[in-house]
Amino acid sequence: MFSIEVNHIFKTYGTRPAVDDVSFDVNQGEIFGLIGPNGAGKTTTIRMMMDIIKPDSGDIKIMGEKLNDNSKNKIGYLPEERGLYKKMSVMDTIIYFASLKGVDSQLARQRGEELLKRADLLPHQNKRIEELSRGMSQIIQVIITVIHEPDLIILDEPFSGLDPVNTQLLKDLIRDLKNKGKTIIMSTHLMNDIEELCDRLLMINKGRAVLYGSLAEVKANYRNNAVLVETTGALGTIEGVLEQRPHNGAVELKLDAKTTPQMLLERLVQKGIVVNRFELSTPSLTEIFIKVAGNEHE
Amino acid sequence: MNKTLLLIKHEFLNTVRRKAFIILTLAFPLIALLAILAGQVLPGVIKTTTTIEKIGYVDQVGLFTQNTTGNNIQLIPYTTEAAAKTALEQKVVAEYFVIPANYISTGSIQIYTLTSEIAPSATVQSGISDFLMNNLLKGNSTEIIARAKNPLNITSTTLTASGEPAAKQGGFSAFILPYLFSVLLMLAIFTSSGYLLQGLGEEKENRVMEILLSSISPRQLLSGKVLGLGAAGLVQIVVWLISANFLLRMASASWGSVLGSLQITPEFLILGIVYFILGYLIMAILMAGVGSISPTARESQQLSVIFIMPVIIPIYFMPLIMENSENIVVKILTFFPLTAPITVMVRSGLSEIPLWELAVSIGILILSVWGLFILTTKLFRTYLLMYGKRPDFNEIVRSFRES
């Protein structure tokens, strides 16, 4: 069963289409990336999934049915716009939001303590939200998102504003949740996060779906005929190489259509060049995105 | 627990724990209590000055010779002004006054003192007045003199058409309680609906709204907020009513003549609570609507004035309501949902409000509350998450039609 099925949704604000015929499915137990530049329609899509705004047309099924009170309790949602009641204490905040998801206060306190401990925030549990740093309150929000142990977790730009330590903490948490069989959808404009975590992805640009599939598929489709090599000594000119480009301490070699990476390796060996590293160069999502968005533009 | 109930509990507790709410709720009973205590203590404090004051006078009419002592003053006659002035300078007398030859036709009296004062003290004034009266009326019996000093004690009775004494007698004491209470009612309605407006604005600004909406529906959010804050407002009103009843009994001891006859009747109590609930509901729902379309708390505060003004209007029409409750304007004020609570409160103190008028007024209020609730839920859904831009009127109308 799909965790989420989105069928041909449209949403227009004024005359500008914010989401324009987007469809996708999310499998149970996977990390699904929703990527695209700022203003692409990611948040609007998520808000429609959460039934916070209604699509103009199209339909969305969550866990096989339309979103209802019961299924709302099985979803954890971290909105892009962050905020909490400033005057409430950390623990009261956690308990209150947990109660709105149907968790009784005793259980919420117990889970809250565990999660706070994990994030090293337990000593702050009686502080008011306004006394916390921005990063800390963002972690509290993540805790609120998962306190009711939802089956489906939707994170809108989860890493924005986090320092490296908290980013790592959150990444570990996301992997943990996946290992527990939870489905996770995260939106981001930072492609690196997706490359590291996601199984499948949907890329939207200007409200339209432009790429959809597993990370490996997407990358394979956009593979360019190039290799990364690290050698001792200079390379010189090599037959079949169109272009040499330094790339993170190595050199990226673009090959012409007649040359395969295997042929290049043989040529390097024949020339007596010591090869320390030899790998197929796959484009980063950023490069793919720029390519796709660029094509769209034309 | 039901999510709406959870929200009601949250909003209720959040409000009654606010310092401003607690202060406001306790302020009125406390101020009234202080006034009552002052009424009991002050006379005692003032009466301690029982020394007899010596006052000189010069009688140029030749009529004022008797009753020179009494009421804590002693009057000493002098034949000439010069003699009186000397006595004053030597502090034999504290002050002196002159009864000029033309006193009978003018009634004017000149008082001379060493210390400047705004007006002669009450003791001195009444002492002199008694002295003059006694001398003017000498030859009459003491009963007649006493009556002349206090000739008019009014008791008025309103009769019904059939000549029976009416159930509501009106008058100052019957009027003051509804008047005071309508002001308190207004205050309670504004406070709790104001908190609602403020709370929504804050939730919009601190972005909690989206988390809330991912757990509950706009309808649950609206009803939870309105009922939670309303419960807090009701607590406030009940505290005021209970303490008013208690304080009135205390007060009749010291302010007996004014307040002794005041009574909080059960009908008044019921009307007060019914109109608080309905008045609050309509105001709160309007405020919620305003809050949902305004991007910031500050802007919503400005916009809310449009709805606060009508609630206050009956205060401006007070003289009309008091004098002529049959007037068509008064009827309109009774029926228009925003002006009804205050108008009915004021009217209830003055005369019996016909039952059909109450029924129509309450009916219109209930219908308006229901209609506005449905409209506001739609507004909530459309505009609660729009930051930074207020929709114009046409857009709002369109969103009603679409949803």
Exposed/middle/buried for residue A26 (C-beta within 10 Å: 0-12, 13-18, 19+)? buried
| Mutation for B interface: A100, A103, A138, most B CBs within 10 A | A100
**pLDDT the model gives residue A109:** 93
Residues of A in contact with B13 (CB under 8 A): none
H or E element that contains A62: strand A57-62
Query: Could you say which DSSP state residue B384 is in?
Result: T
Please tell me the predicted confidence (pLDDT) of residue B60: 86
A151-155, A236-240, A282-286, B49-53: lowest mean pLDDT where? Answer: B49-53
A76 vs A148: CA distance, rounded Å? 8
Query: What whole-number distance in Å separates Cα of residue A244 and Cα of residue A256?
Result: 12
Q: Residues A131-157: pLDDT tens digits?
A: 998 888 889 999 999 999 999 999 998
Q: Where are the alpha helices (DSSP H) in B48-113?
A: 81-89, 103-106
Angle between helix axes B3-16 and A90-100 (nearest 10 degrees) is 150
CB contact under 8 A, B7 and A100: yes
Token readout for B403 is 């949803």
Contact B7/A at CB under 8 A: yes
Helix, strand, or coil (residue B317): coil
Average pLDDT, chain A: 86
Judged against a pLDDT cut of 70, whether residue B8 lies above it is answered with: yes
Q: Does B353 touch chain A (CB under 8 A)?
A: no
What's the pLDDT band for A176 if we cut at 50, 70, 90? very high
- Each residue of B145-179: pLDDT tens digit? 888 888 887 766 667 677 666 655 555 656 677 77
pLDDT in tens, A278-295: 888 777 777 787 777 766
pLDDT at B61 over 90: no
Partner-chain residue, chosen from B3, B7, B206, that has the shortest CB–CB distance to A83:
B206
Alpha-helix runs per DSSP H in A50-150: 69-72, 90-100, 105-118, 134-146
| Nearest residue on chain B to A144, alpha-carbon basis | B211
Question: Which tokens in the block code for residue A93?
Answer: 């905040």
Q: What is the pLDDT of residue A112?
A: 93
Q: Which residues lie closer than 8 Å to B387 by C-beta, 6 or more apart?
A: A81, B204, B295
Comparing alpha-carbon positions, the chain B residue that sits nearest to A81 is: B207
Which one of B216, B381, B385 has the shortest CB-CB distance to A100? Answer: B216
Nearest to B208 among A53, A73, A84 (CB): A84
**Which region among A156-160, B15-19, B325-329, B391-395 has the lowest average model confidence (pLDDT)?**
B391-395
- In this structure, the number of other CB atoms found within 10 A of the CB of residue B142 comes to 9
How far, in Å, CA of A168 to CA of A174, rounded?
10
- According to DSSP, the β-strands at B95-99 and B53-59 are parallel
Cα–Cα distances in Å, from A273 out to A233, A249, A254, B56, B139?
Answer: 7, 17, 18, 133, 145
Note whether A86 contacts B: Cβ–Cβ < 8 A: yes
User: What's the start-to-end Cα distance of chain B, in Å?
Assistant: 29
**Number of inter-chain CB pairs under 8 A, A vs B:** 54
Return d(Cα B315, Cα B102) in angstroms, integer.
Answer: 49
Q: What is the pLDDT of residues B236-290, one digit of tens each?
A: 888 887 887 777 777 666 555 555 556 667 777 788 888 888 988 998 899 888 8
Within an 8 Å CB–CB cutoff, is residue A298 touching chain B?
no
Contact call for A97 and B216, based on CB within 8 A: no
Q: Residue B95 pairs with which residues in a beta bridge?
A: B55, B113
Question: Which tokens go with A153?
Answer: 């977790």
Interhelix angle B218-254/B355-383, nearest 10 degrees: 140
Residue B206 to residue A84, Cβ atoms within 8 A:
yes
The answer, for A97 touching chain B at a CB cutoff of 8 Å, is yes
Helical (H) or strand (E) element with B309: helix B297-316
**Min CA distance, A101 vs chain B (Å)?**
6
- What is the C-alpha separation between B347 and B317, in angstroms, rounded? 11
CA distance A219 to chain B (A): 34
Residue B392: the pLDDT is: 67
Task: Kindly state the DSSP code that residue A2 receives in the 8-state scheme.
Answer: E
| Angle (CA) A210 A215 A221, round 5° | 65
At A255, which helix (H) or strand (E)? strand A250-255
Q: Which of A77, A79, A96 sits opposite B10 (nearest CB)?
A: A96
pLDDT at A298: 44
Residues B146 and B9: their CA atoms lie apart, in Å, by: 65
Cβ(B229)–Cβ(B222) under 8 Å?
no
